Amino acid sequence: MDAAIIPAAAFAPPPSLPAAAKRQRLDAAVVRRTPETLHPALWLGHQLGRTGAQTVASGFARLDAELPDGGWPRGALSELLLAHPGIGEMRLLAPALVATQREGRLVMLFDPPAALAAAALAALGFAIDELLVVETRNDSVWALEQALKSGHVGAIVAWLPQRLRAERLRRLQLAAHRHDGVAFVLRESAAAARPTAAPLRVALHAGGADRVQLHILKRRGPPLASPLELELPSVLSAAARRRSANGSAKARRLPAATFIDVA
């Protein structure tokens, strides 16, 4: 017989199953067809959002687990709220920004609140001479829009002025669609009371020496119930960390040398 002719028996329906087995197969079929299994971009309200978009790994595994799509979003604003600069925000953002620089893209900082120390940035892994600092006096929204719309900038970190109007932030979020890297906007803590157009909003608080507490206030998915504590790359030696951890009950801190005026 010719091998190409398939015997008719191969097309016969399978023999009928007992009723219990049939029901199990039906249940399995029903489970397989829930929304989040149908398509990678679908998610239910109690799950963490998935858009299938690319993200930049934040460098902290516990944070990546809580962020939708596993990292800082690309092409959208990520809003960080701080009470004052200097609670570890740069050490938190450093892994993502350094990764952008390693790819060869440009990182731009808009209106940093104080002078930057080149040695500290180099210690975190930045390439100092490939960083641009833009000082916008009153035109911060215009300058950010230009940088986001150009689409050639790798990562943007911007310190926005106080009490920014909501429609300006919305304009920036629309402009961010043409940007293909991360865009962080850092604002004052009081902005938490007002709604935002950014899809991710995180409030930062200092949680002790070299620790930062993150409250994820808005993300694609359910809000995070309890704050996330992250360990930052340390600037303290082990002894200093132990000293810090030994509670505030004792007055054991390092006594400073008393100043003796020999004049």
Partner 1 sequence: MLWVALHLPLLSLESFAATLAGRATEHGIALIDEHCIAAADAVAIAHGVKPGLKRATALALAPRIVLGQADAARDAEAMRSIVHAALAFTPSVSLQPATEPGSAADIVLLEVQSCLRYFGGSERLLERVRASIEPIGHSLRIASAATAQGAAILAHLEPSPLCTTLEATRCALVAAPVWLLGPGRAHWEALQGMGLRRIGDLLGLPRAGLARRFGETLLAELDAAFGRRADPREPIVPARAFESRLELFARADSSEQVLHGASILLARLVAWLAAQHAFVQRFRLLMHHETRWQQGDRTPRATALEIALAEPSRDSAHLLVLLRERLAHVQLPAPTLELALQAADIVKRAAPNGELFPTRQSEDEGLVRLIERLQARLGVGGVQRLCAAEDHRPERASALRSDAVARPSRSPRTSERAATADAASLPSALSCPRPIWLQQPEPLAEREARPLLDGRALALLSGPERIESGWWDDDVAERDYFIAEASDGALVWIYRARLPLSSSGESGWFLHGRFG
Residues 91-110 that bind partner 1 (CB under 8 A): 91, 98, 101-102, 104-106
Three-state DSSP class for residue 13: coil
Among positions 53-92, residues that touch partner 1 (CB under 8 A) are 83-91
Instruction: Report the alpha-carbon distance of residue 105 to residue 98 in Å, rounded.
Output: 10
Tell which phi-psi region holds residue 210, choosing left (phi > 0), alpha (psi between -120 and 50) or beta.
Answer: left
Phi, psi of 259 (to 5 degrees): -80, 120
Q: Which of 17, 61, 123, 166 binds partner 1 (CB under 8 A)?
A: 123
Question: In this complex, which beta carbon is closest to partner 1, that of residue 21 or of residue 83?
Answer: 83
30 binds partner 1 (CB under 8 A): no
Judge whether 184 and 167 are in contact, CB under 8 Å.
no
Among positions 225-254, residues that touch partner 1 (CB under 8 A) are 234-237, 239-240, 243-244, 248, 253-254
Beta-bridged to residue 214, according to DSSP, are 204, 228
Instruction: Report the alpha-carbon distance of residue 23 to residue 206 in Å, rounded.
Output: 55
Q: How far is the CB of 122 from partner 1 (least distance, A)?
A: 6
Q: Which residue's entry shows tokens 């500290």?
A: 120
Q: How far is the CB of 191 from partner 1 (least distance, A)?
A: 19
Question: In this complex, which beta carbon is closest to partner 1, that of residue 86 or of residue 195?
Answer: 86
Q: Which of 4, 8, 114, 225 binds partner 1 (CB under 8 A)?
A: 114
Q: How far is the CB of 100 from partner 1 (least distance, A)?
A: 12
Q: How far is the CB of 235 from partner 1 (least distance, A)?
A: 4
Q: How far is the CB of 64 from partner 1 (least distance, A)?
A: 21
Beta-bridged to residue 202, according to DSSP, are 80, 216
Hey, how many other C-beta atoms are within 10 angstroms of the C-beta on 98? 17
Among positions 127-156, residues that touch partner 1 (CB under 8 A) are 127-137, 139, 142-143, 146-147, 150-153
256 binds partner 1 (CB under 8 A): yes
Question: In this complex, which beta carbon is closest to partner 1, that of residue 2 or of residue 129?
Answer: 129
Selection from 206, 235, 200, 192 nearest residue 214 by Cα: 206
257 binds partner 1 (CB under 8 A): yes
Helix pair 140-150, 166-175: axis angle to 10 deg: 20
Site string for partner 1, 194-213 (x = CB under 8 A): -----------xxxxxxx--
Instruction: Report the alpha-carbon distance of residue 179 to residue 173 in Å, rounded.
Output: 10
Q: How far is the CB of 144 from partner 1 (least distance, A)?
A: 10
Strand locations in 207-244 (E): 211-218, 228-231
